[in-house]
């Protein structure tokens, strides 16, 4: 890996296996494959120039085929369970030695869609009664959603929980679960920690809604104190920026919210706007917006203080209630 992406370098690229792949895909016959392999070995040089001389694939097609080959070699790893991960650091590769770069985000998505081991998927996606929401991570501009994924996210914004989504999704249960797992792993959707799945949103009383907002602000206050211990006065600016960055994905009622000096958010105007429109979808958008803000602040902690701090913060937030 280099700079977060998977790379195939010249030294480790399995040229003989690649020839076998070309033969298997009927892009090259076996006699030609052996001939060019022998020529490459005799010349003690890479096989690639010989393949380009054949002109059966353009340079662009050849590189795309090499990328597909490298990815398919790795796809079986997605179905291994359980897995003990390990990472062996080596000397940094020179850019000139990198033959094929494979963007990690697109590789993860492609790998999930070819998975056959649904035990892994069922273990890692939220439970059926979980309420989930759309997220907008910093890397979202690097992910080009497929039309069916974009459609599924729009469905997610209208459904109360995953069980409801599964029953109404036209994609079928297997593809829907794979898509949920892929979007979950890519950070495009996430669980809603403020949700109350056992009680429909339209049944929330004013008192209950006040309690939800109090719990939300208690969490915001804790995040501010947590970050302040590490960063001092910079904490307020960091969290303010995280909220501003996520406003495009929030309900219109949240566009003017601001962070107060204690890390809490002034929500009276938001509360009044939603109390007079008690429909289920309005309340649902309210809960989702609260979760978007919490997710943005937690992401800011992760990016600034690291994964360990993020994990500790999340565990402590789970203990907070109004």
Note the pLDDT tens digit of each residue in 42-86.
877 788 877 777 777 888 998 999 999 999 999 999 998 766 767
Give the pLDDT confidence score for residue 196 in this predicted structure.
42
Structure tokens at 297: 């602040």
Give the confidence band of 113 by pLDDT, cuts at 50, 70, 90: very high
Measured N-to-C along each axis, helices 268-275 and 280-305 cross at an angle, to the nearest 10 degrees, of 150
Between residues 29 and 191, which one has the greater pLDDT?
29
Mean per-residue pLDDT over the chain, rounded: 82
Give the pLDDT confidence score for residue 257 in this predicted structure.
82
List phi, psi (to 5°) of 284: -65, -45
Mean of pLDDT values over 173-183: 94
Between residues 17 and 267, which one has the greater pLDDT?
17
- Contact partners, residue 139, CB within 8 Å, separation at least 6: 105, 187
Q: Which class for 292: exposed (0-12), middle (13-18), buried (19 or more C-beta within 10 A)?
A: buried
Model confidence at 223: pLDDT above 90: yes
- pLDDT tens column, 296-320: 899 889 888 887 888 888 888 888 8
Q: Residue 6 has what DSSP assignment?
A: E
Q: Residue 94 has what DSSP assignment?
A: P
Model confidence at 276: pLDDT above 50: no
Mean of pLDDT values over 182-195: 77
Model confidence at 32: pLDDT above 70: yes
Model confidence at 272: pLDDT above 80: no
Mean of pLDDT values over 128-157: 83
- Contact partners, residue 149, CB within 8 Å, separation at least 6: 179, 182, 183, 188
Tell which residue, 293, 199, 279, 314, has the closest CA to residue 250: 293
Mean of pLDDT values over 93-114: 90
Give the confidence band of 283 by pLDDT, cuts at 50, 70, 90: low
Give the pLDDT confidence score for residue 204 in this predicted structure.
56
Give the confidence band of 278 by pLDDT, cuts at 50, 70, 90: very low
Mean of pLDDT values over 20-37: 85
Give the pLDDT confidence score for residue 206 in this predicted structure.
66
Q: Which class for 213: exposed (0-12), middle (13-18), buried (19 or more C-beta within 10 A)?
A: buried
Tell me the pTM.
0.58
**Of 112-116, 119-123, 205-209, 244-248, where does mean pLDDT reach its minimum?**
205-209
Give the pLDDT confidence score for residue 290 in this predicted structure.
87
Give the confidence band of 199 by pLDDT, cuts at 50, 70, 90: very low
Between residues 206 and 319, which one has the greater pLDDT?
319
Give the confidence band of 201 by pLDDT, cuts at 50, 70, 90: very low
Which of 207-216, 229-238, 260-269: highest mean pLDDT?
A: 229-238
Give the pLDDT confidence score for residue 169 in this predicted structure.
92
Structure tokens at 77: 């790893």
Give the pLDDT confidence score for residue 198 in this predicted structure.
39
Give the pLDDT confidence score for residue 221 in this predicted structure.
92
Give the confidence band of 107 by pLDDT, cuts at 50, 70, 90: very high
Model confidence at 130: pLDDT above 90: no
């Amino acid at each position: 890996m280099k700079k977060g992406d998977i790379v195939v370098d010249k030294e480790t690229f399995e040229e003989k296996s690649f020839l076998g792949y070309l033969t298997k895909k009927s892009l090259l016959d076996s006699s030609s494959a052996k001939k060019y392999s022998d020529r490459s070995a005799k010349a003690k040089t890479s096989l690639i120039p010989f393949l380009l001389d054949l002109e059966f694939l353009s340079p662009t097609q050849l590189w795309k085929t090499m990328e597909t080959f490298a990815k398919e070699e790795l796809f079986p790893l997605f179905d291994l369970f359980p897995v003990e991960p390990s990472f062996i650091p080596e000397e940094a590769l020179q850019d000139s030695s990198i033959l094929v770069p494979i963007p990690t985000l697109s590789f993860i998505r492609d790998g999930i869609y070819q998975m056959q081991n649904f035990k892994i998927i069922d273990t890692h996606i939220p439970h059926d009664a979980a309420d989930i929401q759309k997220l907008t991570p910093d890397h979202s501009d690097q992910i080009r959603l497929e039309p069916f994924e974009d459609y599924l996210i729009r469905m997610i914004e209208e459904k109360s929980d995953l069980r409801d989504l599964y029953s109404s999704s036209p994609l079928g249960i297997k593809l829907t679960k794979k898509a949920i797992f892929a979007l979950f792993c890519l950070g495009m959707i996430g669980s809603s920690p403020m949700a109350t799945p056992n009680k429909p949103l339209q049944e929330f009383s004013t008192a209950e809604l006040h309690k939800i907002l109090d719990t939300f602000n208690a969490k915001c206050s804790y995040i501010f104190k947590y970050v302040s211990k590490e960063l001092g006065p910079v904490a307020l600016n960091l969290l303010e920026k995280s909220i501003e960055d996520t406003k495009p994905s929030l309900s219109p009622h949240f566009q003017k919210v601001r962070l107060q000096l204690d890390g809490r958010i002034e929500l009276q105007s938001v509360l009044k706007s939603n109390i007079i429109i008690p429909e289920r979808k309005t309340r649902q958008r309210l809960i989702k917006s609260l979760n978007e803000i919490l997710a943005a602040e937690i992401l800011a902690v992760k990016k600034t203080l690291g994964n360990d701090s993020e994990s500790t913060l999340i565990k402590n937030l789970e203990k907070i209630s109004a």
